[in-house]
Structure 1
């Protein structure tokens, strides 16, 4: 049996457990992820929504991605930590912030996305496949 991926916000008000392996894990260097993370990129693991159990009440805010589709970011109203994202165009997936994992060492990035928006000071693993935007489907 696969070990659950567990995590949540800093204060524990929001918790998740996820059955299954990530479908995709990436460092995203788009401007939205830079702003949300307060750094040069955001690090994410995306899972099938069917395997996710979520407890606690998150606050949400929507933004429109380059594709024109809405992405909703969930964050803790108490400690402010961004925890997850969902996508209106892809309701079958659930994306978590790698730093929100109880065991962040389990995060294994597979690619760098939106590298066209990277900053020289944000150096990521040069061995990862790198895409100017999102990789093709």
Structure 2
């Protein structure tokens, strides 16, 4: 089923919209996502990169994950809000952080991943 999603950063300088299939959703508990979001986990929706349209001043931070893949964390350059995440393991895909959605109720909980990084205060 195709979905239409919109979202933005905290200051509104960056926006995105997506029309297409959601491949899957996850809650990532890895330390990289914890550092990037300032939270215990990062709920994400994985989708086709070529169907995502963005506008605004973003900044990309690249880092090699413990698994060896390259990660890209995409933030608003102005306010620092985390918006998107990509991995070299899926070059044709990109993830939207659920918290950046205009309507976060569209996120449906998926699989928990990298649970070894789950913090004791983030159970549930």
Same fold, TM exceeding 0.5? yes
3-state SS of 1:50 partner: helix
Show the counterpart of 1:72. Answer: 72
Show the counterpart of 1:131. Answer: none
> C-alpha separation between the residues in 2 aligned to 1:38 and 1:2?
31
Structure scoring higher RCO (CA < 8 A, sep ≥ 6) equals 2
* Pairs within 5 Å for 1:50-129: 50-124=50-124
**Equivalenced residues, count:** 124
1:87, distance to aligned residue in structure 2 (A): 2.2
1:94, distance to aligned residue in structure 2 (A): 1.1
Show the counterpart of 1:47. Answer: 47
Bigger strand share: 2
Show the counterpart of 1:128. Answer: none
**TM-score, normalization: structure 2?**
0.92
Structure 1 stretches of 5 or more lacking a match? Answer: 125-137
Give the aligned CA root-mean-square deviation in angstroms.
1.5
1:3, distance to aligned residue in structure 2 (A): 4.2
> C-alpha separation between the residues in 1 aligned to 2:19 and 2:26?
19
Structure 2 stretches of 5 or more lacking a match? Answer: none
1:90, distance to aligned residue in structure 2 (A): 2.2
3-state SS of 1:26 partner: strand
8 Å CA contact 2:27–2:43 kept in 1: the answer is yes
Show the counterpart of 2:28. Answer: 28
The CA deviation string for residues 21-64 of structure 1, in whole angstroms up to 9 with x for no partner, is: 31111111111111122121111111011211111121111111
